[in-house]
A and B are shown apart, each in its own frame.
Chain A
Amino acid sequence: MCKNCELKPVVFLTNNTKGLCKSCFFRYFERKFNKTISQFKLIEPNEKIGVAVSGGKDSLTLLYLLNKLKDKRRFTIEALLIDEGIKGYRDKTIEDAKKFCKDLDVKMTIVSYKDEFGYPLDEMLKKLKMKPCSICGVFRRYLLNKYSRKLGFDKIATGHNLDDEVQSLLMNQFRSNPEVSARLGPITGIKDEKKFVRRIKPLYLLLEKEVATYTFLRKFEIKFCECPNNTEAYRIHVRTFINNFESKFPGTKHSIINSYLEIMPMLKEKYKNVEEIKYCKKCEEPSSKDICQACEIRSKL
């Protein structure tokens, strides 16, 4: 029986011997989402929130829930999609995103690498001797920030879930990069820096598996597909490691996040002045160096 009612359970949460039925799972999931927004003060009334969508399960769940919450909390939303130009992957998820936004009546802007940098990612990979994720990480962040500002977003919401954050924290730990971990958390960016649009992660306390369960039960028409360039990423090794560990020791991922949230204020304090904010001499976007990473890569194309 369901933990809260008499119905048949469809899902078991971490460390719970009793399961939840469909309706009780929706209630659990949506309460956690709303609580994350309140607890970390992710959205203020009257803000215009950009939602970074890819067409995958995380970003479309994020869009669905923010759309559901916007009137009650008095904010507005618009979607922003970055088209990297990955044939057989992004072209498919774009169609899902377009349909989803149309059904919810949410305005969506698409910005492509091809229009912005002259080439789709598939072409860039032939020209550059760089790992695809290294190019993508830089260009995606660059375009998200630039267009969030152009479109007048007060903040940009991303679909990062608890698993994504745990993986990032472990990667930084394994590579001895505490200053990079200091830049993580449910809300990131610098409050009074006008050229940086702050990022929020409302799915921060929800597991990837819970998000997938939610999309399945809500019957969202989303293809479960992985980026074909993802095969070489260090993140995959960390992901497999932590998922195996969680299978044997349930609750580990939550423990990692809870421990991080405890030390996060101290880490942020310690590393707050490590990098002075400059503006790129070429494109005038915020940068830690005289020339930003995006312009560095662009010059090699």
Chain B
Amino acid sequence: MVKIFIERENKNVNTKAKDIEELIKKLNIIKEEIIVVKNNELTPRNEKLKDSDEVKFLSVISGG
């Protein structure tokens, strides 16, 4: 299971996925509105995932 944190919703999720792209689809996240951080490093969307990875979807939207 991959540990996921969705910053905008302040929510933690655990799920399985082979790569970041699949994870984005699975969680129904708009990819233009996030940057992806895997194990504290910025990660391109085609990056493969393995169990024990920690993924954060950081919101690019701020301000008002």
Contact = CB atoms under 8 A, between A and B. Distances in A.
Contacts of A212: 35, 58-60, 62
A240 B41 CA distance: 26
Interface in A201-224: 208-209, 211-213, 216-217, 222, 224
Contacts, number: 70
Given A247-B30, A247-B31, A58 B63 contact: yes
A230 B59 CA distance: 15
Tell me what chain A mostly uses at the interface: helix, strand, loop, or mixed.
helix
A224 B41 CA distance: 17
Interface in A73-127: 89
B31 to A, nearest CB: 5
Nearest to B64: A227
Contact of A208 (B7, B44, B58, B61): B61
Contacts of A10: 41-44
B64 A226 contact: yes
A50 interface: no
B45 interface: yes
A258 interface: no
B44 A19 contact: yes
B37 interface: yes
Interface residues of A, number: 34
Contacts of B37: 216
Contacts of B43: 10
B38 to A, nearest CB: 11
Interface string A269-299: 0000000000000000000000000000000
Contact of B35 (A133, A209, A227): A209
Q: Top 3 A-B pairs ranked by shortest CB distance? A: A227-B64, A212-B60, A243-B32
Given A212-B62, A226-B62, 6 more contacts: A12-B45, A57-B63, A209-B32, A213-B42, A216-B35, A224-B7
Interface of A: 9-12, 19, 22, 54, 56-58, 89, 133, 136, 159, 208-209, 211-213, 216-217, 222, 224-227, 229-230, 239-240, 243-244, 246-247
Interface of B: 7, 30-33, 35, 37, 41-45, 58-64
